[in-house]
Structure 1
Amino acid sequence: MSEEPVSECPQRTLLLVDDEANILSALKRLLRQDKYDIVTANNGQEALEVLKERLVDVIITDQRMPGMTGVEFLRLAKESYPDTIRIVLSGYTELQSVTDAVNEGAVYKFLTKPWDDVQLRGHVAEAFRRKEMADENLRLHQQLQVANLALEATNRELDKLLREKEERIETDEVSLQITHEILEHVSTPILGIDDEKNIVFVNAAAQALFGSSHMMLGMKMARDTPDLERAWNRTSTEIDINDERYKVLTHPMGRNSRSRGKLMTLIKITTP
């Protein structure tokens, strides 16, 4: 059975359990003014069946009932529905069993019959506030868990990207070292010039051709090599170096890499 739906959100559902019909009626009359959704049961077994079908927030049960006591019922309710707030309302003060149940957490409060209407309503309202606070804490905890999982996933992805980037940098560095070593041993003079026309690479053949004093790293290309300056804007041209003729091939860098500047290769022209 249920009364008027609760006008507030969330809905507050109250289960009343007592084997005396007049007690159930009196409790319903008293508590319906607080707009609870009230369901009833006449004994512990019937109440367990109600809990299988309904979401209940607060339970109020008598202690002495046929079949099982209120404390025995609340122990079973705690096992299967631990989020409920459980109250004993009884005219019998079986102190030991009730104390044990309270200590176990099966019972939230023990109230005695006959009850004071104002106090009982206050205790029930407090029980619902306790339940809603626990639900809110659980909701926030679940949100925090979801946020933490999302953060962990983001951190894992960032770590993965960082490792991949570090691996690419390491691979690029190794490739660059290998390339420098290969070019160093090529017999053809090769120069690397950046966009500001600074010399950034000179292989051994180029050093031998120009002399180390003319081809120092960081030196401006045009200072002592005006012929190379003229070759800068040409794909292919011929210049004289040390009374010998060389063909200069200028290759712009950066088309297939992040390199900038130009690579200049000098090929000696032999006359027949």
Structure 2
Amino acid sequence: MDVHNASALAGAPERLAPQRTLLLVDDEQNILAALRRLLRRDAYHILTAGSGQEGLDLLASHAVDVIVSDQRMPGMLGADFLRKAKLLYPQTMRIMLSGYTELQAVTDAVNEGAIFKFLTKPWDDQQLRDHIAEAFRLKGIDDDNARLNQQLREANLALAAANAAMQALLHQQQHQISRSEVSLDIARELLQLLPLPVLCLDEDGMIAFVNAAAAGLFERGAALLGSDAALALPQLFEPHAAAQRQVIIGGKAYAVARHAMGAHSRSRGSLVTLCHTGAPA
């Protein structure tokens, strides 16, 4: 078994990562030597084997792009070798070069896709070089397509993962919104059930909520919603008035307390409560 780098110059080290690898399989050493001399100019990384089994051994340990094999070899015919090469290494391009025209064996191998080209000995140098170059060109296209398909699969997987993460986040946000809405409904109901009047103002001083007790206390009732508190209820929201003070409404005294919201939550605005203190002093 012989390994030869046809692209290396005399005395220069062999390339560690050859880009184009060619495997020549023939039981006649003079044929292998002639092929090496012919193809050296094309800068291929050339591997040689003297039998089909040796060829399979080389395929197991090297990344081969193109195979050129003889047909009539001891132990294993070229068609059988190329058939096994196709089964084990389908990405290779396979060429048969033989002086024997065993039509049926060659026809079967071609029909099975085991052979890309069939050439006879003696060969035409330029024709052989052209066919091998074409095989490498097609192999390069196949490799590019495989690489692009892999990149597409990876991009699709990444996109699917991103979509799944986005869906999970959206579900979490929707769940949080639902919980917030339930909490808000509970808070509204609790405020409605309180016997003392309660009003809620947003951060701009607009009346955002009036409970039943407050609606019954003021003539406008629910119509206060959306009104400017300072204009709608000036007796409660005089400029620069203290946060806690006493007012007279309907002849009754009420202690008014205004509580700023947001100390323990993300809420804004203020909560105003009115507590009846009895007859005015």
TM-score, structure 2 length as denominator?
Answer: 0.91
Q: Matched residue of 1:99: which SS?
A: helix
Residue equivalent to 1:123: 131
For the 8 Å contact 1:5–1:11, the answer to whether it is kept is: no
Give the whole-Å Cα distance in 2 for the aligned partners of 1:179 and 1:102: 81
Q: Matched residue of 1:246: which SS?
A: strand
Give the whole-Å Cα distance in 2 for the aligned partners of 1:61 and 1:192: 90
Give the whole-Å Cα distance in 2 for the aligned partners of 1:93 and 1:28: 24
- How many residues were matched structurally? 272
**Structure 2 gap segments, 5+ residues each:** 9-14
Q: Which letter maps to 2:199? A: L
Residue equivalent to 1:188: 196
Match among 64, 78, 86 for residue 70 of structure 1 = 78
Measured at CA, do residues 107 and 232 of structure 1 come closer, stay the same or move farther in structure 2, by a change above 3 Å?
farther
Verify: 1:141 aligned to 2:171, yes or no. Answer: no
Give the whole-Å Cα distance in 2 for the aligned partners of 1:43 and 1:214: 99
Verify: 1:257 aligned to 2:257, yes or no. Answer: no
- Cα displacement (A) at 1:261: 1.4
**Structure 1 gap segments, 5+ residues each:** none
Residue equivalent to 2:213: 205
Which runs of structure 2 are paired with 1:1-272 in the superposition (5 Å)?
1-5=3-7, 11-213=19-221, 215-230=223-238, 234-270=242-278
Q: Matched residue of 2:278: which SS?
A: coil
Measured at CA, do residues 47 and 23 of structure 1 come closer, stay the same or move farther in structure 2, by a change above 3 Å?
same
Q: Matched residue of 1:229: which SS?
A: coil
Q: Matched residue of 1:247: which SS?
A: strand
- Cα displacement (A) at 1:255: 3.1
Give the whole-Å Cα distance in 2 for the aligned partners of 1:47 and 1:214: 93
Give the whole-Å Cα distance in 2 for the aligned partners of 1:214 and 1:171: 27
Q: Percent identity?
A: 53
Q: Matched residue of 1:77: which SS?
A: helix
Give the whole-Å Cα distance in 1 for the aligned partners of 2:222 and 2:176: 35
- Cα displacement (A) at 1:209: 1.0
Give the whole-Å Cα distance in 1 for the aligned partners of 2:135 and 2:240: 87
- Cα displacement (A) at 1:233: 5.8
Q: Matched residue of 2:264: which SS?
A: coil
Measured at CA, do residues 125 and 224 of structure 1 come closer, stay the same or move farther in structure 2, by a change above 3 Å?
closer
Deviations 1:41-93 (A, max 9, x none): 11111111111222211110000111111000011111111111111001111
Q: Matched residue of 1:227: which SS?
A: coil
For the 8 Å contact 2:94–2:117, the answer to whether it is kept is: yes
TM-score, structure 1 length as denominator?
Answer: 0.93
Q: Matched residue of 2:224: which SS?
A: coil
State which drifts further: 19-28 or 252-261.
Answer: 252-261
Q: Which letter maps to 2:123? A: W
- Cα displacement (A) at 1:159: 0.1
Give the whole-Å Cα distance in 2 for the aligned partners of 1:53 and 1:140: 25
For the 8 Å contact 1:191–1:203, the answer to whether it is kept is: yes
Q: Which letter maps to 1:27? A: L
Give the whole-Å Cα distance in 2 for the aligned partners of 1:237 and 1:231: 13
- Cα displacement (A) at 1:14: 0.7
State which drifts further: 94-103 or 200-209.
Answer: 94-103
